Structures are given as structure tokens and as C-alpha cells.
Structure 1
Amino acid sequence: MNSIYDLRQFLQKCGAFVYTGDRLGDLELFEIELKQLYEWNMIDVKTFQQGMLIIKKEISDVKKAKS
């Protein structure tokens, strides 16, 4: 998993389809879904960490673009 696209595809394979029309809202929902998958032991710690890094970077990029 190297990009937000990869993360979206991964979450869809797990049954989480996220699209609100708001980029920041989508990213926040990605984060919630990823945390739940980890808490339910459906993903390992490495996958969780990779996903969180991707989300945090993308959130930072979106906030910079809005400034």
C-alpha cells in the first residue's frame, strides 16, 4: 500500500465504501474504518501503520491546499 488510491482499494476489499464528496471527510472516515479493522484484528499492525501514514500525509496535503 503506497497511496491513498491503494488504501481506498484495500478498504473496499474489506467492505468499506467511502465517498462523501468532501475530501477531508473521506479521509477522516478512512481513518475510522482502518482503526476499526485493526481493533477487530482483521489487519496486522504493519498494514494499520502504513494506512495511517498515508491518511495523515493526505490530510496534511489537503489542509495545505486549502490554506
Structure 2
Amino acid sequence: MKTLYDVQQLLKSYGTIVYLGDRESDIAMMMLELDELEQAGVLEKKQYDSAKVILAYELQQSRKS
């Protein structure tokens, strides 16, 4: 997993599609969804960590723009 798109596809595989119309809000919601999946024990720790790093980076880049 290397991109925001990869994270979106991961979430989609669990039935979650996030589109709020605002990039920062989308990323924040994806983070919450990842947290829920990890807490439920559905997501592997390695996938969770990788996705969170990608989302944190994307959020930071979004705020710079």
C-alpha cells in the first residue's frame, strides 16, 4: 500500500466508501474508519499502520496547499 487510492481500495474491500466532497474531511473520515476496523480486529496491524501513515502524509500535504 503506497497511495491514498490504495487506502480507499482497502476500505472499499470492507464495504466502506468515503466521499464527503472535501479532501481533508475525506481523509479524516478514512482515519476514523481505519480505527474502527482495527478496534474490531478486522484489519491487520501492518495494514493499519501503513494506511495511517499514508493518510497522515496526505492530510499534511492537503493542509500545505
Match of 1:38 in 2: 38
TM-score (norm 1): 0.95
Give the CA RMSD over aligned residues. Answer: 0.5
What CA deviation, in whole Å up to 9, does each residue of 1:15-55 have, x standing for no partner?
A: 11100110000000000000000000001111110000000
User: Is 2:7 aligned against 1:13?
Assistant: no
TM-score (norm 2): 0.97
- Match of 1:64, as an amino acid? K
For residues 43 and 18 of structure 1, the distance between their equivalents in structure 2, rounded to whole angstroms, comes to 17
Unaligned runs of 5+ in 1: none
| Matches for 1:48-63 after TM superposition, within 5 Å | 48-63=48-63
For residues 10 and 2 of structure 2, the distance between their equivalents in structure 1, rounded to whole angstroms, comes to 11
Q: Choose 1 or 2 for highest CA Rg.
A: 1
